[in-house]
Structure 1
Amino acid sequence: MNQDARVATRVTAGVTFAAKLAFDDISHSFGAGNPTLREVTLSAEPGEVLCLLGPSGSGKTTLLRIAAGIEAQTAGRVLLNDREIAGPSVFLPPEQRSIGLVFQDFALFPHLSILDNVRFGLTALSREEAKREAMIALERVGLESYADSYPHVLSGGEQQRVALARALAPRPAVLLMDEPFSGLDSRLKDSVRAETLGILRHSRATAIVVTHDAEEAMRMGDRIALLRNGRLQQAGRAEELYLRPADLFVAGFFSELNVFDTRASGGAADTPVGKVDAAGFADGTPVNVAIRTSGFDVSEVSGEVQARILSRRYLGVVELLDLAVSGAETPVRARVRCGALSSSARDIWLSLRKSDVLVFERADKNA
């Protein structure tokens, strides 16, 4: 039976009411002058998968730990369905929050069976009730036949699903997942991500997933919240962050870019690879023109700007080119469809695709 069929036939017992989890002006610091979160306001809506995205040290995991009750914020409030669960006057312990947590390393007990791992946290239930709920959770992830086995016999992907079943067994209103796929090899990630997303939809839990991988966030998240140095840079749907990034950092997190420092003049900006639209910027405004590596059409016959191929790397569907362009201080990088250029091509022409050009006011205006 395939995964879709398993999801369709699994039991429907699960989360009764998905909850809204909100962070209200959250700040956190491990010591004076060392803030890890800075006035973060963000919410995960009922039944939504929200991905917390950002580089290492951006505050993603700290925000997750604050939601779970493992860490206390320095300032601000955490609310579950508009009820304060952590703030200046209240701090509910983790076991009272109806929030489940899936750790990065799965944290399964090697000496316990799969069934006993899943029912480990169901201490408020009788032994028989806990066994029933654990089996329901295992059925939900398609591993009921492994109930009497031990973690060492399972693959990495199966262990991840056991950890997910254990987190879902108490039927939490919100599920938190901290880089849940980082320990899986690249070939396995796609299938386990798809299975996990199906399970989350089926359980109806609100989920917050931490990742540093932009593509993973785009694959999984209904919305994405991008953090940098403890601040929320931008939040929205994947297409909003990709097509309308708030700044150069956001744009660079979702695409490999060529960035040119220049100035606006007459509603345009000149770059070594051509003139681009800069409407809305006053004459003389310092700007960064960011062009995605996918934003070039190439030809051996004609185009807008001449370039010389310095190197080319075959990547299967595309080739990655390093190009010398007059006026560019560093090589221009381009991803082009394989077969777009002959194997002997050296001097070529470039043309820009407007949809892959982004213009931002330069932060270091004096540079």
Structure 2
Amino acid sequence: MAQAQTPSFPRTGVSFAAELAFEDIHLHYGAVHTLKGISLVANPGEILCLLGPSGSGKTSLLRLAAGLEAQTSGRVTMNGQLIAGPATFLPPEERSVGLMFQDFALFPHMSILDNVRFGLHDMKPADAHREAMAAIRRVGLEHHARSFPHVLSGGEQQRVALARALAPRPSVILMDEPFSGLDTRLKDSVRAETLAILRETRATAIVVTHDAEEAMRMGDRIALLNRGEIVQSGTAQEIYHGPQSLFVAGFFAELNVFDATSHKGVAETPIGAFDCRGYPDGSSLKVAIRTVGLNVRANGDVLPSGHIPGRIVSRRFLGSTEALVLAVPGTDQRVRARIRADELPPGVKDVVINVRKRDIMLFESDDESA
């Protein structure tokens, strides 16, 4: 008896992934120095996330990679070949890059098929149709091939934009805040689908985002920008567990920050004394503690060693977690904690608090990003 065969899911064509490198990139808009000596490499087949606040230079760097504008100085190379430099500038259509913008940029007067086929004008019509339909099938929208963008949901339009960017099989795909236009309910599923498609096509991808969690979900590596400079790069784990400044730590987690002075290897704060060996006595420090690093439980008759008393000022249920604001002795500064929703009984006001060591970070107060 013949075995039933599992139907194969249509696959997007595989790209020839390229290395894209920025070498000492500077960009000026008049007197404004937007990018300040950026050097960064996106490795073949890697998903690199450019992360940072608004105005940090993320989108400007992406536009330079795409060839939508030219840097003031520095070089951009692809697989070691110069594509933008002092005497060289390849236009976007000669760079083998796919572009996906924040607003999807679909042509409203064109069908989905024609939108996806738009970048395949160098192919024979039959080949362009075949490649466009393969990309549309891969994002699950074959039944909408003849529809127009206005009849699609935001998530479906995002998938069309992805199909259009991938249809020419680019070596590098550039994505500018690709999920910011989606509601929270859709974002997780569409992001997971996009990640799966990027892995399958094997293209090098550079994704711009201002959301640290999104960068951690998607990126093989993350480059965090601030004021036109890369302040730290690495894997999500490397940056989260080893932030090099208070700015970096605060971008990846909600923090409580206390001023302290080192004394005999100890930094005293209202919620505990912490090891600061390695800092000279009298050093001014910022002690940063992640809100998820506080253990909070109902107060008993005896205060356990290493714990301090606290009182709940406000308590907000957030589904799987609760956000607490706490008052503690010795300071008017409120302490914030994020705990599991089932950790404290309803109505509890008096609590005891202690801090997990792995969620304590120390920075010198003269760190200008503090």
Q: TM-score range by the shorter chain?
A: over 0.9
AA at the equivalent of 1:232:
I
What pairs with 1:163-182 in structure 2 (closer than 5 Å)? 163-182=161-180
Q: Distance in 1 between matches of 2:28 and 2:330?
A: 45
Q: 2:53 pairs with 52, 55, 79, which one?
A: 55
**Matched residue, 1:9:** 9
What pairs with 1:295-306 in structure 2 (closer than 5 Å)? 295-299=293-297, 300-301=299-300, 302-303=303-304, 304-306=307-309
**Matched residue, 1:135:** 133
Q: 1:201 pairs with 194, 199, 210, which one?
A: 199
What pairs with 1:251-290 in structure 2 (closer than 5 Å)? 251-290=249-288
When structure 1 is superposed on structure 2, of 267-276 and 320-329 the one drifting more is 320-329
Taking every aligned residue pair, what percent have the same amino acid on both sides?
Answer: 62
What pairs with 1:230-241 in structure 2 (closer than 5 Å)? 230-241=228-239
**Matched residue, 1:30:** 29
**Matched residue, 2:326:** 323
Q: Distance in 1 between matches of 2:98 and 2:310?
A: 54
- Residue 329 of structure 1 deviates from its aligned partner by 3.6
Q: Distance in 1 between matches of 2:62 and 2:367?
A: 33
AA at the equivalent of 1:25:
D
**Runs (4+) of structure 1 moved beyond 3 Å?**
none
AA at the equivalent of 2:88:
V
Give the root-mean-square deviation of aligned CA atoms.
1.6
**Matched residue, 2:212:** 214
- Residue 221 of structure 1 deviates from its aligned partner by 0.6
Task: Give SS of 2:82's match.
Answer: strand
Q: Distance in 2 between matches of 1:298 and 1:160?
A: 42
**Matched residue, 1:20:** 19
- Residue 219 of structure 1 deviates from its aligned partner by 0.6
Distance 1:151 1:321, change over 3 A: same
AA at the equivalent of 1:13:
G
- Residue 298 of structure 1 deviates from its aligned partner by 1.6
How big is each residue's C-alpha offset from its partner over 1:23-79, in whole Å with a ceiling of 9 and x where there is no partner?
1111111112x1111111111110011111101000000000000010111111111
AA at the equivalent of 2:70:
A
TM-score by length of 1: 0.94
- Residue 344 of structure 1 deviates from its aligned partner by 2.7
- Residue 12 of structure 1 deviates from its aligned partner by 5.1
Q: Distance in 1 between matches of 2:151 and 2:267?
A: 60
Assess if the C-alpha contact under 8 Å between 2:28 and 2:35 holds in 1: yes
- Residue 335 of structure 1 deviates from its aligned partner by 1.1
- Residue 308 of structure 1 deviates from its aligned partner by 1.6
Distance 1:320 1:183, change over 3 A: same
Task: Give SS of 2:88's match.
Answer: coil
Q: Distance in 2 between matches of 1:194 and 1:123?
A: 30
How big is each residue's C-alpha offset from its partner over 1:242-279, in whole Å with a ceiling of 9 and x where there is no partner?
11111100000010000011112222211110011212
- Residue 208 of structure 1 deviates from its aligned partner by 0.4
Distance 1:74 1:327, change over 3 A: farther
When structure 1 is superposed on structure 2, of 169-178 and 128-137 the one drifting more is 128-137
Stretches of structure 1 lacking an aligned partner (at least 5 in a row): none
AA at the equivalent of 2:172:
V
How big is each residue's C-alpha offset from its partner over 1:95-141, in whole Å with a ceiling of 9 and x where there is no partner?
11111110111111111111110011112112112111111211222
Task: Give SS of 1:64's match.
Answer: helix
- Residue 361 of structure 1 deviates from its aligned partner by 1.4
- Residue 311 of structure 1 deviates from its aligned partner by 1.1
How big is each residue's C-alpha offset from its partner over 1:323-352, in whole Å with a ceiling of 9 and x where there is no partner?
111233421111122232232322221111
- Residue 84 of structure 1 deviates from its aligned partner by 1.1
**Matched residue, 2:3:** none
- Residue 220 of structure 1 deviates from its aligned partner by 0.6
Task: Give SS of 1:121's match.
Answer: helix
Q: Does 1:356 align with 2:359?
A: yes
Q: Does 1:101 align with 2:104?
A: no
AA at the equivalent of 1:324:
A
**Matched residue, 1:145:** 143
- Residue 284 of structure 1 deviates from its aligned partner by 1.3
When structure 1 is superposed on structure 2, of 146-155 and 222-231 the one drifting more is 146-155
Aligned residues: 359
Task: Give SS of 2:165's match.
Answer: helix
Q: Distance in 2 between matches of 1:339 and 1:128?
A: 60
Q: Distance in 2 between matches of 1:154 and 1:222?
A: 31
